[in-house]
Structure 1
């Protein structure tokens, strides 16, 4: 026994000198000091969708985060990773198995035989493989934890985006009704003037064509509305066609009021869960290098057995036999396979580092794009509001001149088209602005 202990101490000492597994430090990223476009800071720094002040949207997001199947799947993968981490940690403890058997020996008057015993195995992890495997499993668990949070980020943004689209189509349908009413009034006036001999039949045809063209948009808007509603149903884990979005009080685009400040680009490294997941994958790659390096070192296992009985059924507890040993595996020659596997793990770590950097740069681009969009759509909305005001005045004046015979129907219809187009553009621009706020919060990793 003393020789066995001395040998174990010697092997452990030699192995300890060979240890040198890579330890990951968070990569330094060259992040800009500030974003190119500023967003004024405000009061809401969590549950960003509350900035829309829309109870329907709030209910949809909360329900979706609870019921969404992608979130549920991510939670299942997290639970699986946690179980695998516990399994890896259990390898640091001795394993014990039991065995028992009963048979009949045909010799010696068919004597009944019996045997039982305990078998144990302990790995002291002198080469560090178990420790590296635990690090790898812990990194996998961290990645799945971040991916669950990232899935919630994406689901909240997807629900908000589809809700904005649903509201956009509602506003477009409401505008369509207003536009058809306006064009129907024009058609009635033109028809009366034609019947009175004050206008040509060509004017009637032009007004009727414009009205039909406007009505023809209803089907396309209905398709977009149905698609948004069905997408919301899937995000809520509800069957499309059965789920119905509660109707808001007004057919308008939700406007974003308060929200968190953009912060600085370096904040993405601790707020964006997909970046943190990429960092966890980098940690896993570093642990894999340690696993492969461990195979270059000696390994040791300590098996033990405890036998019971003398072989007879009645003497099962009469004798006890205990044995303890040690098995050492010394890597000598494998044609370079183990070192090639270490190199492969090192190259994989380099790839993971490149992916980490690419994820950060992509996230940075998403924030910048969202900030630019917010600023641009705000300015566009102001200009479109001015265009609508001018178009309404032009239409009113052209109608008055047409009744007096001082303007042609073409002037009236052209003013109508400009007004309708400007109103449609404003609805779309307001929806794009709302979507830009959604994209911004998804990009900065808001809760």
Structure 2
């Protein structure tokens, strides 16, 4: 009845809804001045500008087909990546919940059917009868967003969605770095195993020679025992390296989402074992400052700030009256002859205001503000830690590159020393101790050379990880098997489709209001 008499009420309410204000602060990025112009002499020394290989797939710099296959397998099956993708889907659904707050809600609906029986007696005339009563009622409420409560909630959910995307990209960065580091740890250990076996063979021959000389009385037992000690010491390192290789393969299996077992990606080309490359420069497509701010974990930290900031407005909205348009529809009828059917329509505004909260709302605002400040500090710490990681990795790479030439020359000198020591010993100008010392030095220098090569590769991987490289994958958020399982349980609509936002775009520097919302929840 009210709507019929006042037809302008609904347009007026819509105008009020569209013209509402937003209480609480608007999100402002918290970049520190140094982060936008930061540079590092160490990073500049070990990097070169370029677009190839793409920093999103930086491992192509090694030109290793085995590593490429491992990365593809990790993208498709790694459990952490699957969970991160599902959290993006969860954030999309949470955004859909926030968007629903803008629209009218059915607060209550009921329907009832009552059966009634009666018996009337009038003298000798007794009558009985039965009839049904029907009722249907519905109440609808539409809270006008005068203070921006729902708008701020949507703003927060929107930022949380982009934070979930950034967290998935950060998981990609971490997994790709772990796969590459574990792979080259495996290759380094294989190379060390080869060195140990080679030196064990050399030392075994020396031990056999001293055995013969001791039995013939041409040398004393000291040479024999020293040769035996050195040979057995080197031989004992072989099971350690074999165990480390097995553990590295197990770690790769887990990163690839498999139980420990065979690795067809490696076993198909056994000739590539024990290859530890030396890459002297990383290829970066941007300056270090921009790369740091583009790191997925940095962007996730900024989006977490952007998600927390609107919650202050959501809390502040409780300080003001809540204005809603409410309406109800009630219909009743009866099967009793002559009984009228009734239809009642009621509508009007409703105002609720919690004036006596004893500081509860005010303190909730303070809680949200404190959480925002925590997010700001966490973001700033994340940027500083990113800069430290990049500088540390570059510094370690420089040291490894400098040691590489020195250790290669040292290995050559140790090999030459062993040749000379064997020659002098056979000619009788030296004792066997010098041969043992030369063998020990050669084994140590060869091992140090390979270990340093492995450290150089690890430092290069750490540098790419520190600048946020490897955040891209062609694998979907939800693989077909999981999609089928989830759709069998629940109607997901189009929320399991890929988001429309470009996962490569640095969305962290945009305001939440300017970001593109995913298609699924906004429909």
| TM-score interval (norm. to shorter) | over 0.9
Range 260-269 or range 349-358, more displaced: 260-269
Instruction: Tell me which residue corresponds to 2:23.
Output: 20
Is the partner of 1:24 in helix, strand or coil? coil
Matched, 1:130 2:130: no
Corresponding residue of 2:360: 337
The answer to whether structure 1 residue 35 and structure 2 residue 40 are counterparts is yes
Tell me, yes or no, if structure 1 residue 105 matches structure 2 residue 101: no
Q: List per-residue Cα deviations over 1:389-441 (Å, max 9, x = no partner).
A: 11011111111010111111111100110100011111111111111111111
8 Å contact kept, 1:162–1:232: yes
CA RMSD of aligned residues (A): 2.6
Once residues 125 and 358 of structure 1 are traced to their aligned partners in structure 2, the CA distance between those partners, rounded to angstroms, is 36
Corresponding residue for 2:207?
Answer: 187
The count of residues paired between Structure 1 and Structure 2 equals: 443
- Which residue of structure 1 aligns with residue 230 of structure 2? 210
- In structure 1, which of residues 29, 38, 44 is the aligned counterpart of residue 53 of structure 2? 44
- 1:134-164, CA deviations, whole angstroms, 9 ceiling, x for partnerless residues? 1121121111111111111111111111111
Report if the CA contact (8 A) 1:402-1:409 is conserved. yes
1:94 aligns with 2:104: yes
2:491 alignment counterpart: none
CA contact (8 A) 2:131 2:334 kept: no
Instruction: Say which is worse superposed, 246-255 or 56-65, in terms of deviation.
Output: 246-255
Q: Find out whether 1:420 has 2:435 as its counterpart.
A: no
Q: Write the distance in 2 (CA, Å) between the matches of 1:382 and 1:324.
A: 86
Q: Is 1:385 the counterpart of 2:408 in the alignment?
A: yes
- Deviation per CA, 1:63-113, whole angstroms, max 9, x where unpaired? 101110110011111101101101110111112465322121345844211
Counterpart pick for 1:198 among 218, 234, 241: 218
| Distance in 1 between residues matched to 2:355 and 2:109, nearest whole Å | 34
Shift of residue 299 of structure 1? Answer: 0.8
Counterpart of 2:47 in 1: which secondary structure?
coil
1:254 equivalenced with 2:271 (yes/no): no
Is the alpha carbon distance of 1:357 and 1:391 closer, same or farther for their aligned partners in structure 2, counting shifts above 3 Å?
Answer: same
Q: Distance in 1 between matches of 2:262 and 2:339?
A: 68
Describe the shift of the 1:207–1:309 C-alpha distance in structure 2 as closer, same or farther (beyond 3 A): same
Aligned position for 1:65: 75
Q: Aligned partners of 1:368, 1:232: CA distance in 2, in Å?
A: 28
Offset, 1:343: 1.3
Q: Is the 8 A contact 1:147 1:273 kept in 2?
A: yes
Stretches of structure 2 that go unaligned for 5 or more consecutive residues are: 120-128, 471-523
Q: Identify the residue that residue 161 of structure 1 maps to in structure 2.
A: 181
User: Where does residue 236 of structure 1 map in the other structure?
Assistant: 256
Q: Is the 8 A contact 1:40 1:261 kept in 2?
A: yes
- Name the SS for the 1:326 alignment partner: strand
Contact 2:197 2:238 in 1 (8 A): no
Query: In structure 1, what is the equivalent of residue 349 of structure 2?
Result: 326
Cα deviation for residue 196 of structure 1 reads: 3.8
Distance 1:60 1:357 in 2: 34
Deviation at 1:28, TM superposition (A): 2.1
Query: Shift of the alpha carbon at 1:255?
Result: 1.7
CA displacement, residues 187-215 of structure 1 (integer Å, 9 cap, x when unaligned): 23323333443221221111111000001
Contact 2:292 2:387 in 1 (8 A): no
The 8 Å contact of residues 35 and 264 in structure 1, kept in 2 or not, is answered as: no
Distance 1:3 1:240, change over 3 A: same
Tell me by how many angstroms 1:16 deviates.
5.0
Question: Which residue of 369, 386, 390 corresponds with 1:363?
Answer: 386
Find the counterpart in structure 2 of residue 443 from structure 1: 466
Q: Tell me what 1:409 maps to.
A: 432
Cα separation, 2, equivalents of 1:377 and 1:64: 29
Taking the aligned partners of 2:161 and 2:384, their CA distance within structure 1 comes to 25
Q: Given that residues 54 and 254 in structure 1 are in contact (C-alpha distance below 8 angstroms), is that contact kept between their aligned partners in structure 2?
A: no
- With normalisation by structure 2, the TM-score equals 0.79
Q: Could you state the TM-score of these two structures normalised by the residue count of structure 1?
A: 0.92
Helix, strand or coil: the match of 2:251? helix
Q: Give the structure 1 partner of residue 423 of structure 2.
A: 400
**Shift, 1:272, TM fit:** 0.6
Q: Is residue 20–residue 145 contact of structure 2 (8 Å, CA) maintained in 1?
A: no
Distance 1:221 1:57, change over 3 A: same
Deviation larger for 388-397 or 181-190: 181-190
Unaligned regions of 5+ residues in structure 1, if any?
none
CA, structure 1 residues 142+217, in 2 after alignment: closer, same or farther (shift >3 Å)? same
Taking structure 1 as reference, are residues 343 and 388 closer, same or farther at Cα in structure 2, changes over 3 Å only? Answer: same
Give, in angstroms, the shift of residue 314 of structure 1.
Answer: 9.3
